[in-house]
Amino acid sequence: MNPILGNRGAVVAPHSLASQAGLDILREGGNAIEATIAVASTLAVVYPHMTGIGGDGFWLLHAPGQSMDSIDACGAAGANATRELYNGLDSIPWRGPLAANTVAGTVSGWGVAYDYSRTRWGGRLPFARLLESAIRYAREGFPVTHGQEEGTRAKLPDLIAQPGFATAFLNQGQVPAYGQCHRFPALANTLEQLARAGSEDFYRGELARQIGADLATIGSPVTAADLASHQARIKPPLQLRLSDATVYNMAPPTQGLASLLILGIYDRIRQSGWNPDNAEGIHALVEATKQAFLLRDKYVTDPAHMKVDPSALLSDKTLDAAAAAIPLQHASPWPAPVSDGDTTWMGVVDAAGRAVSMIQSIYFEFGSGVVLPGSGIWWQNRGCSFDLRPGRLRSLEPGRKPFHTLNPAMAALDDGRLLVYGTMGGEGQPQTQAAVFSRYVWGGHNVRSAIAAPRWLLGRTWAEQSASLKLESRYPQAVIDALRKLGHPVEVVADFDERMGHAGALVLHPQGWIEGGEDPRSDGSVAAW
């Protein structure tokens, strides 16, 4: 399985139409940020069960000779999202208007990235040009994927009664079939308004007034005032020095810390020949994941409420202690952390060697399931990750950011290569990142086979609750048996199981050429030139 090659630019995304939209921008002389906005906006239309403009987003930005930057486009809980609003409930509902309790930050991230592009990367393309593909597909239609058909059919019993869902996601009352043309006319109007007025209009303009009225109509605790107070922020990412690379990821409120911890712990204990293709490597990575998740779930929350500097959790002392806690001869007990989510990750490298790793999400498939009546936006349910009990790490409070599973990744290898990678998949995101990185950097894989090779998943991801160690059935029986002998509760799943995430990666070589790999578990592709 050979990588896709290019030398002027490349895009990878979990839907081929989105990859092509990004490549079109690169061919017109656009930079990696401009192409990413085109990819992200197109995904928000053609991959609607996985993402949308009613969610949140996070960015990593790389330019040669400059320090890495990140953009936090996470929305906070609305002013009316109080614990009293959920009086009598043990937890926040997963679906419905009360689940739509945080501001949608994705579009603000597009706006901050666009300004960054113009002021620091010489971007010249109009914002409206970057939304053209998304607008066209929303207005004229796009072919339904198997994933959209199957996702709609599977979630329909939970979502059919939610405001606006049937109007937006069904065709004449029926689940849209694979290949059938599907349209979002109300969303097309909203995207056209964004193209005319810019991203600020979503939060402090005509569109914001429409969205605020929509949210009030459906009974969400988010208001127009909450939209107006929202701002995406540029901030330094987390970074960790490994034995032969420096890896980068998002700071809290995301679980980017966990992704770095897994690699840092595994790098301390790994032995020659260990990799995600054999039982020894999988065991070590799974145990490193357990240690990373324990630290994550002890400390990571809204950064304004954290009692520990997240960089301190990447210290040699912390990593050494976590590595020492790993039993190499047996599986340790696992308490099955609680998380979920659906997401889209995308990566772009341009002709100047600038790169973007970006991820946006509405949390569960279709988010809250609520579609706003005027603007046609389906709203996220990220805020159902809040705890209704007071005094907890992630207690619900108005204005507080929710915990996020999202975390885009990059790695600067000591030989000059830049690895741009990421995935969707809730709890699986740090694990899949570890698999892709360790296969490519330490395991002898090329970037494409590192993604396509069999994967594992500890615990649950965006589709279900589970504490098992899932292994795709393409693993040899000897590997499965060895992991069971070590005490792992192995569950064998499909050959290419979508629960393992939709990963992607690009590698920029110091000579300027680019390799890319897409995930056969998704509807994605690499588009390069």
DSSP 95-147: SSGGG--B---HHHHHHHHHHHHHHHS---S-HHHHTHHHHHHHHH-EEPPHH
Helix (H) or strand (E) holding 452: helix 447-452
**Measured distance CA(323)–CA(387) in Å, rounded:** 30
Q: Are 524 and 12 in contact (CB under 8 A)?
A: yes
CB 156 within 8 A of CB 165: no
Quote the distance between the C-alpha of residue 223 and its chain's center. Answer: 25
| Torsion on CA atoms 116, 117, 121, 122, rounded to nearest 10 | -120
Q: Given the residues 51, 145, 343, 423, select the one marked as catalytic.
A: 343
Prior bond of 253 cis (ω within 30°): yes
| Separation CA 449–CA 210 (nearest Å) | 46
For the record, the structure tokens of 517 come out as: 């790999």
Strand order in the sheet with 469-472: 456-458, 469-472, 490-493
Residues sharing a CB contact under 8 Å with residue 161, sequence separation 6 or more, in sequence order: none
Q: Is the dihedral of CA 363, 75, 56, 175 positive or negative?
A: positive
- Known catalytic membership, residue 223: no
User: Residues with catalytic annotation?
Assistant: 343
